[in-house]
């Protein structure tokens, strides 16, 4: 019983961490994409 509870806790923590990492990664990707797009626009205009 105790081991099962610990497993569930670990699973929950892992899921939370993975979600957090995914959010951070997506945020970085979005910023990078915006920066690249902006640079592309500037180069296209100049």
Residue-number span of the structural domain to which 16 is assigned: 1-46
> What pLDDT is attached to residue 1?
67
**For the whole prediction, is pTM greater than 0.85?**
no
> What pLDDT is attached to residue 16?
97
Q: How far apart are CA 18 and CA 13, in angstroms?
A: 9
Give the number of domains in the chain.
1
Q: How far apart are CA 5 and CA 11, in angstroms?
A: 10
> What pLDDT is attached to residue 20?
97
> What pLDDT is attached to residue 41?
87
Q: What is the pLDDT of residues 1-46, one digit of tens each?
A: 688 889 999 999 999 999 999 999 999 999 999 999 988 888 887 6
Q: How far apart are CA 43 and CA 14, in angstroms?
A: 43
Q: What's the token pair of residue 11?
A: 């699973």
């Amino acid at each position: 019983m105790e081991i099962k509870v610990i497993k569930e806790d670990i699973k929950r923590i892992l899921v939370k961490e993975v979600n957090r990492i995914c959010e951070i990664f997506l945020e970085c990707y979005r910023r990078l994409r915006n920066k690249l797009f902006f640079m592309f626009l500037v180069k296209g205009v100049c």
